[in-house]
Structure 1
Amino acid sequence: MTTGQPDPYTVLLVEDDDLQARLYQMMLSQNIGNQRNGTHGGRSSKSVPTVEIAETLADAQDVLRDASTSIDLVLLDLNLSDSSGLDTLDSVLETVDKTAVVVLTAMDDAMIGREAVERGAQDYLLKDHVTPRLLVQTVTYAIERRKRAAELERQRRELAVLHWLVRHEIREDAVIVLGWGAELSPSDPDEKRTISRIVDAGEHIVELTESVGAMVQTLDERPPELTAIDLEGVLAEEIERLETRYDDVEVSFDRTGEAVSVKADRFLNVVVRNVLTNAVVYTEGRDGEVTVSVIDEDGDEPSVGFSVSDDGSGVSLADHQRITDREYTPEGARSGVGLYLVQTFVDRYGGRLEIEEESGPEAGTTVRVSLEPATADAE
C-alpha cells in the first residue's frame, strides 16, 4: 500500500578525507530528510537516506559488488589513495550498471568534471561550491535521471527483441508455409479454396511482420515525425479490408463529405485497423453491425477524429477499466494487444482515446479517437 512517504535512497560516499566525508554525510542525512518532509525541524527516519562510506576505490568496488547491498548513487571523489583522476570514474562505471554516479572535483577541475559527465557520470560538483541544498538537489536529480534512463534502455531492449522475433522467427515460418502452399496442386474445388485461404493468410502474416518491424522502429523514435494524413482515406481503406476478411459483418460509414486531415504517421492505418478489429470481436457470429463516423466538430473546443461503434454485448465494468492494458485479452480474441497498441499510438499523436458503453443488454460499445487537426506546416 502506498503511504505517500518516499523510500529512502542509499548513497555510497567514496571519500578518503574523514572530515569531508562526515560533512557530506551530515548534509545528505539532514537536508534530504527535511526536503522530503517539507520541514526544517525534526526529521523522519523513514525518509533519511542511508549513507555508506568507502575510503578507497577497492572498498567502494567491494560494496558495489555485494549483491545484498542496493546502492542508488555513488558520490565519488576522483582522487583517492589507490586511484586518481578519471581512471577512478572509469573503474566505478565498469563496476556499476544502473547506479547513478556524481563526481566530486577540486575548484580547478571543472573541465575534468565535464569530461566525467561525457564518460557516463550523471553530474559533477566542485568541492568548494558544495552547499547542503545543492548537494541534495544534485543527488536527487541524478538518481531520478538514472532511473529514467534505465527504464528507457529496458524498453529499447524489449523493442529490439520484438523486432527480431517478428521479422525473423514469425516471418520465416510464414514464408515456409507459403512455399508449401505453392507446391500443392489440388483438383477438388473445396481443396483449392482451402489452399487459397492458407496462402492469403500466409501473405497477410508476411505483410504484418513488415509493418510491425517498421512500427517497432518508429516507436523508438523520439520525438515522432508527424505529417498530415487524410483521415477519411485511411478509414475507407481499412473498412474495405475489414469487409473482405469478415463477410458476416456489416459496416456503415458516415462521411463528412469534406477533406479531414489529422497529425499522424503512416501507422494511422494500424490504429484504425485495430479499433475496427476490436469491434468485430463483439459482433462476429451475430451478423452484427459496425458504424464508423468521422468526427469534425467546430466550436470552442474543435474535435477531429473518428468513432467506431458496435452493437455487440459490450465490455464488462471490470474489463472496461483495463481494456487498454497490454495484458488484457478479450474473450474470443487471439491477442489483447489491439487497444493497448491504439492507446500507445494515440498518445504519440497527442490525441485522446475514449471508450463509451451504451445502456442495454446489446447496445454495444463506442471507441472514440480524437486527434490533432493537421495545419499547413504539417503538410
Structure 2
Amino acid sequence: MLAEQSSSHTLLLVEDDDLQARLYRTMLYRERGTEPVATDEGGGETGTTVETVRTLEEARTALEDDESFDLVLLDLNLPDSLGLETLDSVLETVDGTAVVVLTGIDDDAIGREAVERGAEDYLVKDRVTPRLLDRTVTYAIERRRRVTEIERQRNELAVLHWLVRHEIRNDATVVLGWAAALDATDPESERIVSRIEEAGEHIVELTESVGVMVESLEEPQTELVPIDLVAVVEEEIDRLEARHGDCTVAFDRPEGTVSVRADRFLNVVVRNVLTNAVVHGDAEETITVNVSRGTDGSAELTVSDGGPGLSATDRRRATERGYTTDEEGIGVGLYLVRTFVDRYGGSLTIESDPERPPGTTVRIRLESEH
C-alpha cells in the first residue's frame, strides 16, 4: 500500500553538495522505478518529483511559495545555517509537511534530538541505501499524514465539545426554565409540561455524557490512581435523588472504603449506570445499589432496577455505541460506561436479577487498590 502511494510524491531536497544531491535523486528514482514525467491536460503518468535547493534561505522561499511538498529531505549543515537550528527554521516554515533530517555526523543523539524537535526521522549520510532512503521517505510522509488527520479530528472534537457543553446544554436549560414556569391547569396540560421537562432533562444528561466522551478523547489517557468507590457512589446517589425527586435508592455498602484504580471519570461511570436504572426502570420500584469486595482482590458495583427487564439480545448489545431499545432515542450511557471500564481494566455485565425479576442488573468489576 505504502509503496503504491510513494509514486506521486513531491519532495524538496535541501543539500549543498551537488554530488550528494544527484546521488539521493538517483536512489529515489531507481528504487521507485520511475523518473519525473511531464504531464498535460490530456493526462499521463506522474512520477516522483524531487526539487533541489542548496541553502536554508532557498528552502524557506520554496516552501513559502509552494505548499504542495510532501516531504523535506534536509541536510543540517548548509552554507547559511548549521546544526539543529536549520531544522528549527524549516519547521517554522512548514505546516503539515514531513521533514527527514540528513546528518554527516555518525551520532544517533543528534538524530534523536531532531525527532524530538519535530522531524519525522533521520538518516546518517554514510549509511543511506536506496531501499532505506525510499522506505524512510515513504513512512515519514504517511506518519505526517496521519498526525495531520488526528490534529484535524481533535479540532473538530473541540468544536463539538463546545457545542454540546455550552450551546445545546444552555438551550435545554432554558427549555426547563420555561417549562417550570408554566401553570398547568388540567391533566392534559400537566402531561404536556411533564413530557417537556422529561425531554429537557434527558437532553441535559445526554450533553453530559457526550461532553465527557469528547473530553476523554481530547486528552491523553490519564494515569489510574486509587479512588474510593463508596464515596463516589454516595455522591452520585445524592446527585440522582436531587435531579429525579421521585426515585428511591437503597444503597448496601460495606464498612470503610473500597479503593479502586480509576481516574476522574469514575463519577461519570457511576452516574450513567444510576441514570440508566432510572430511565429504564419502574419509577415506583426501588433502585438497589451494592458495593462489595471480591475474594479475588477486585471490587464490585451492582445497580439493579425494577423495570421490565431486557432480552438476551438487548443485554448483549446494550453497551454498543448508539444501540437503544427505544426507537426514538440513541444509546450513549452504557457505551460510555463500557469505554471507561475497559480503560480501567475491569469488566461489565448486564443480567436479569434473580432476586427481583424481571428487572435488570448492571454489574461492574474493577481492580481494587490495596
TM-score, normalised by the number of residues in structure 2: 0.64
In structure 1, what residue type is equivalent to 2:313?
L
Matching residue of 1:371: 366
Matching residue of 1:298: 295
The 10-residue stretch of structure 1 (211-220 or 156-165) with the greater mean CA deviation from structure 2: 211-220
Deviation of the 1:166 alpha carbon: 3.1
Instruction: Name which of 352, 358, 361 aligns with 2:346.
Output: 352
SS state of the match for residue 232, structure 1?
Answer: helix
Deviation of the 1:274 alpha carbon: 0.9
Matching residue of 2:236: 238
SS state of the match for residue 23, structure 2?
Answer: helix
Instruction: Name which of 52, 56, 78 aligns with 1:56.
Output: 52
SS state of the match for residue 320, structure 1?
Answer: helix
Deviation of the 1:165 alpha carbon: 1.2
Matching residue of 2:24: 20
Equivalent-residue separation in structure 1 for 2:285 and 2:3 (angstroms)? 52
Deviation of the 1:122 alpha carbon: 1.3
Whether 1:324 and 2:320 are equivalent positions in the alignment is yes
Equivalent-residue separation in structure 2 for 1:9 and 1:319 (angstroms)? 44
On the 8 A contact 2:209/2:333 being kept in 1, the answer is no
On the 8 A contact 1:281/1:332 being kept in 2, the answer is no
Deviation of the 1:230 alpha carbon: 2.2
Deviations 1:155-190 (A, max 9, x none): 4323311331134313432554466578x5959698
Matching residue of 1:261: 259
Q: CA, structure 1 residues 137+364, in 2 after alignment: closer, same or farther (shift >3 Å)?
A: farther
Equivalent-residue separation in structure 2 for 1:207 and 1:367 (angstroms)? 19
Deviation of the 1:22 alpha carbon: 2.5
Q: CA, structure 1 residues 179+221, in 2 after alignment: closer, same or farther (shift >3 Å)?
A: same
Whether 1:339 and 2:337 are equivalent positions in the alignment is no
Deviation of the 1:283 alpha carbon: 3.1
- Counterparts of 1:306-317 in structure 2, within 5 Å, are 306-310=301-305, 312-315=308-311, 317=313
Equivalent-residue separation in structure 1 for 2:251 and 2:304 (angstroms)? 11
Deviation of the 1:227 alpha carbon: 4.0
- Report the aligned-residue RMSD: 5.3
In structure 2, what residue type is equivalent to 1:351?
G
Equivalent-residue separation in structure 2 for 1:6 and 1:150 (angstroms)? 17
Matching residue of 1:74: 71
Q: CA, structure 1 residues 211+329, in 2 after alignment: closer, same or farther (shift >3 Å)?
A: closer
SS state of the match for residue 365, structure 2?
Answer: strand
- Aligned identity (percent) is 50
On the 8 A contact 1:281/1:333 being kept in 2, the answer is no
TM-score, normalised by the number of residues in structure 1: 0.62
Matching residue of 1:103: 101
Equivalent-residue separation in structure 2 for 1:55 and 1:6 (angstroms)? 21
Deviations 1:59-88 (A, max 9, x none): x979x867xxxx9x6262459xxx998889
Deviations 1:141-160 (A, max 9, x none): 64565355345424432331
- Counterparts of 1:111-150 in structure 2, within 5 Å, are 117=115, 120-131=118-129, 135=133, 138-139=136-137, 142=140, 145-146=143-144, 149-150=147-148
Equivalent-residue separation in structure 1 for 2:295 and 2:212 (angstroms)? 35
Structure 1 unaligned spans of 5+: 30-49
Deviations 1:12-32 (A, max 9, x none): 454473332232455678xxx
Q: How many residues align?
A: 337
Structure 2 unaligned spans of 5+: 34-45, 54-58
Q: CA, structure 1 residues 212+108, in 2 after alignment: closer, same or farther (shift >3 Å)?
A: same
Deviation of the 1:272 alpha carbon: 0.9
In structure 1, what residue type is equivalent to 2:332?
V
Deviation of the 1:296 alpha carbon: 1.4
SS state of the match for residue 56, structure 1?
Answer: strand
Q: CA, structure 1 residues 289+276, in 2 after alignment: closer, same or farther (shift >3 Å)?
A: same
Q: CA, structure 1 residues 127+240, in 2 after alignment: closer, same or farther (shift >3 Å)?
A: same
Matching residue of 1:35: none
On the 8 A contact 1:304/1:372 being kept in 2, the answer is yes
Equivalent-residue separation in structure 1 for 2:295 and 2:197 (angstroms)? 46
Equivalent-residue separation in structure 1 for 2:295 and 2:203 (angstroms)? 40
SS state of the match for residue 275, structure 2?
Answer: helix
In structure 2, what residue type is equivalent to 1:317?
T
Equivalent-residue separation in structure 2 for 1:244 and 1:175 (angstroms)? 16
In structure 2, what residue type is equivalent to 1:74?
L
